[in-house]
Structure 1
């Protein structure tokens, strides 16, 4: 249980329980980018966009968003990405090399795709950190080239953004009130009668974070 401001609608605050906070925590707690560093966020869903908004509140010089949907990449740029890449058109490593002049300091995989993970690990540079944020299917396995991960690269997973919800959620709400973490832009609300539409939109990528509003008549 986290105490929150009464002046903010719970329909907006509910999605901070997971997803958005996972991405934000992965940036604030696991990556912690320093001035001049680059960070790549792969997957511009709720988790990835949470990471992008968090990265905008760090000294990172380059914030690179990657996704398959141009509409999500447009939103990512609005929310703080300095560069966007459609990975349906570009190779991950080639795109990072072109933008950064070499590998990145941090790469966050928010997709959970084994294919993406195995590619993205090669986009991390010497002494860089590859952070596994997205959940892969149960029993999933991935392999990395030994020589490409040998030189002081770190591969680390993060659960819930390595965060304490009691401190992270109030901190994100404070940033939201300052206009620095506009997570409400990810949310689309639906009445309970629109549950099928909400499921369809979420599945097809038409919404980032679907929220059902349950009226008293629905118990």
Structure 2
């Protein structure tokens, strides 16, 4: 896909009904929407969109010394998906010179929860639901295969928990309790604010933005 084709239309709809996933992008609004499962193609396309906006901003910054980068808005409505694939989006967000703000407008669970908390600023709608749980894994093979798989799973679980601790107010003890009880932990909008998962409820952010514009 060429750069031009990526941005030919104001809104690109990339829908894969088989995987129950939809990705929308709008260059004009500097926005993208991930609705559905977190998978390889969705995450690759989302990372590419962030990359292309950064390239354009880099070019503008070369010609305009005081060029101010406008944030990229990433809207999330997903039950989660692949851990490996989610890191593609997360690392793209964390390394983006152009700030990426994340919005949960319905639900962000599991891998989608992790993507949401990677935003420089994080917003939730009034009736949003976020969910964190320990990683799921399955493996089979000979004994040594299982040993090596377990070592890898231990590393991945520690990596996930460290990231949550770094990006929220949830403590190591809290995450350990969640893991040991083997249960999903849900957060509504108010809970998300209290636990440092989100920064603002979208209605509040919009009101402040309008006042600032005046």
Would the TM-score normalized by the shorter structure come out above 0.5?
no
Structure number with bigger Rg: 2
Structure with more of its chain in strand, by fraction: 2
Output the TM-score relative to the length of structure 2. Answer: 0.28
Output the TM-score relative to the length of structure 1. Answer: 0.28
